Every structure is written in structure tokens, then in C-alpha cells.
Amino acid sequence: MEKGKKPAGIKDVARALGISIATVDRAFHDRPGVNPKTRARVLAMAQKLNYRPNLAARNLKLNRRLSIAVYLPEHIHSFFTPLLEGVRSAADGVFGVEIDVDYRTYPRMGEGDLALLESIPDGRFDGVIFTPGDPAKSEPAINRLSRSGTAMVCVASDAPHSERMTAVSVDAYVSGALAAELLGRTIPRSSSVAMITGELHVLDHAEKLRGFAANLALLAPHLSLLPVVESHESAQEALRQTRSLLKRNPEVAGIYVSTANSLPVLRVLEEQQLLGKVQVLCTDLFAELIPLLESGRILATLYQRPFAQGKTAFEILLRYLVEQVRPEHATRLAPHTVFRSNLPLFADRVRSKARAATSAARGA
């Protein structure tokens, strides 16, 4: 490497030791039929010559075709479409190894995800990227596949007690904490704030609540947290619950919506003419949010970077499959805080995705 010559190949190692390349190959791969002493000499010489296997040659010879499954929900569209896009982008950028990707979708988390996982035969795929809906129920399928040698990678959510290899998501606790700090900095007077979340048995939502509550107490003691509203990702329920919340607490000064399903909440605020008066903090970014951010009617949104999540999930999986690099137990990305001023940097991508989706729909 220092002298910048061509890298040593397997035959250089063989020649240096006066043995055949077959023996060197066996030594490298821990295949039987090599004297332990010889193996040690080979490994030492490989170290000395800085031997690096030529992946191109290996892949050519083995004709390795990696098989990867990517099973994601369609809902929420604004989140999982760019996430899939991120996976695709990472998959398209690969050269030197052939990859078959089996993309599949199901309506929403909890609706068909389990059946899809269970339908995967042992050993069919080298790796699976998926979003566990109900961690507890998915565990048996995850563990079975994991034990059969399939690398299981959670994305956007997690099943931390399962034997999945790793998980990629936004740090949910920090998202909640950030929401607390932002509301605390923005609302000067002593008042009360609300949190509207998704189903709390989804780990992410529970973590956001934990982060929000803890940091509200720590960083914004002048704000008191109203009983949390668990909206179950249903639009009608969210509408009803938000109305009831505002009726019971007309003095609420800030609202943190920790799910991407924030439109019902915003609609209620608009009909009660509270948009702009109540400080609203949303989650994720989609077309409808853009004008609200631009006009200052909502304070900010915590963007969960779906594209980046998909991209890194695929990169990590590929790295493991090709180079045996075992990833961290989990990768937690930092959410982006999107205000009005930095919105253009994110809006472009969101808008172009929305355009692409509608034009694709027209085409179909």
C-alpha cells in the first residue's frame, strides 16, 4: 500500500512460500486438508504481503447472486415511499456483485406483514429488510429466519428482543426530547402542552413519549403535560380525540404530534381557528405540511429521514453479506428539525416524490 504497487494476489502468496495456490486457498478458507503449520505460514505471509482478496474475481468464480427481500407497508405512503426509494437507490448503486431484490408491500403495519414474513422459506433469502408491526407477534418468524442464516434487518421500527441482526431507525427518544425542548423554548409562559401519538405498544411511540415527558420536566418545567392521546393511527379517532382534547383543555399552548398521521389534528385546529395560536410540532414531512410550515402555522416538524433510513439499512445489510462485517446492535439516525427556513432543502425532495407518484398513478 505504501509503495503503491499492485496488490498481492493468492499466487503471490503461493510463490513467496513455494507452495501451490490451491493450498493457499484452502488455508484462507479454513478448508480441511492443510497442515496447521502450513496454514499459519500462509496467513502470516498474507499479512506480510498485505493480501486482499480480489472480490471481482471471487464473485465471478462463485457467480454469487445475493437474494434480498424488502417487505414494507404502503401506509403511511409519505414515509414508506421515500424509504423504499432509499433502498432502491442503494441497491442500484452496487457494482461487482449481482443482487436480486424481491420488493413486496402490504397495506399497513399489522395487516399482512406477519403472513408475509411467515411465508418466507428457510434459506430462501440472504437477507430481509422489513418493518415489524407487532414486535411480539413477529418474533417467532424473525427468530426462525435468523437461525436459518437469513440476516434480518428492521427498519423504521424495531423488534429489539428478537434475534434480528440489526435495526435502523430514527432515535425516537431523542425525537421526543427535541419536541420537548423546542416547545419549551418557544412557549415562554407557564402553560400546558399535549402529545398525540400512535399505538404505544409500537416501541417508537413509547420511546417518543418517554423522551418527551422526561425532557419536558427537565428542560421546560413551566410546561405541564396533559394526559397523552393515543390515536391508533385512525383518522376518525384522531379527529374525535383532538376535539375532545381541545374541549377539555382550551388553554393548551402546544401540541406534539409524534406520528406522521397529523392531518386530522391539523384539520381540527384549523376549524377551531387555533392554527398559529397553538404551537404545533409534527412528525415527518409530506406535501400538505409544506404550506403550513411556510406560513408559520406550525412551528416545525421532526423529519424522520425515510430515504436515509432505507439507504443505510440496505448498505449495512450488503456490507454484512459481502464482507461479513457484523453491524452494531442498532443504528439510530438523528431526526432533522425542519423549520420554515430550512424547509426548501427538504421540500424539493418531498414535492418531486409527490409529483412522481401522481404521474406514475396517471401512467398506470
| Helix 36-49 × helix 10-17 angle, to 10° | 120
Gap between the Cα atoms of 262 and 180, Å rounded: 17
Q: Return the residue of 3, 4, 5, 29 that touches DNA, per CB under 7 A.
A: 29
Question: Given the complex with DNA, which of 21 and 226 has the nearer CB atom?
Answer: 21
The answer to the question of residue 137 lying near DNA (CB under 7 A) is: no
Q: How far is the CB of 40 from a second copy (least distance, A)?
A: 27
Give phi and psi for 20, each to the nearest 5. -90, 160
Could you tell me which of 126, 120, 82, 98 has the C-alpha nearest to residue 304?
82
Q: How far is the CB of 352 from a second copy (least distance, A)?
A: 13
Q: How far is the CB of 15 from DNA (least distance, A)?
A: 10
Alpha-carbon 107 to chain mean position? 18
Among a second copy, DNA, none, the one that 180 touches (CB under a kind-dependent 5 to 8 A) is a second copy
Could you tell me which of 323, 158, 170, 191 has the C-alpha nearest to residue 260?
170
Q: How far is the CB of 73 from DNA (least distance, A)?
A: 36
Among a second copy, DNA, none, the one that 33 touches (CB under a kind-dependent 5 to 8 A) is DNA
Q: Is 125 helix (H, G, I), strand (E, B) or coil?
A: coil
Q: Is 257 helix (H, G, I), strand (E, B) or coil?
A: strand
Could you tell me which of 36, 50, 39 has the C-alpha nearest to residue 17?
39
Residues at the contact surface with a second copy, assessed by CB under 8 A: 4, 6-7, 54-57, 59-60, 63, 65, 93, 95-98, 100, 171, 174, 177-178, 180-182, 185-186, 188, 211, 215, 219, 315, 319, 322-323, 332, 334-337, 339-342, 344-346
Q: Residue 198 contacts by C-beta under 8 Å, 6 or more apart in sequence?
A: 205, 230, 231, 232, 233, 258, 259, 261
Across the chain, the runs of DSSP E, i.e. the strands, are 65-75, 98-108, 127-130, 151-155, 166-170, 191-197, 223-225, 229-230, 254-257, 279-283, 300-303, 331-333, 336-338
Question: Given the complex with a second copy, which of 109 and 195 has the nearer CB atom?
Answer: 195
Q: How far is the CB of 57 from a second copy (least distance, A)?
A: 5
Among DNA, a second copy, none, the one that 323 touches (CB under a kind-dependent 5 to 8 A) is a second copy
Among a second copy, DNA, none, the one that 340 touches (CB under a kind-dependent 5 to 8 A) is a second copy
In the complex, the residues that contact DNA under the rule CB under 7 A are 6, 9-11, 14, 18-23, 25-26, 28-29, 31-36, 38, 51, 53-54, 57-58, 60-63
